[in-house]
A and B are shown apart, each in its own frame.
Chain A
Amino acid sequence: EAAVTQSPRNKVAVTGGKVTLSCNQTNNHNNMYWYRQDTGHGLRLIHYSYGAGSTEKGDIPDGYKASRPSQENFSLILELATPSQTSVYFCASGEAGTYEQYFGPGTRLTVL
Chain B
Amino acid sequence: AQRVTQVQPTGSSQWGEEVTLDCSYETSEYFYRIFWYRQLFSGEMVFLIYQPSFDTQNQRSGRYSVVFQKSFKSISLVISASQPEDSGTYFCALSELISGTYQRFGTGTKLQVVP
Give A contacts to B, CB under 8 Å.
Answer: 31, 33, 35, 40-45, 48, 50, 56, 58-59, 88, 90, 94-103, 105-106
Contact = CB atoms under 8 A, between A and B. Distances in A.
B107 A40 contact: yes
Contact of A96 (B4, B42, B101): B101
B43 A45 contact: no
User: How large, as a class, is the contact surface on chain B?
Assistant: 20 to 34
A43 B105 contact: yes
B88 interface: no
B108 A42 contact: yes
B45 to A, nearest CB: 4
Nearest to A35: B105
Contacts of B104: 45, 59
A32 to B, nearest CB: 10
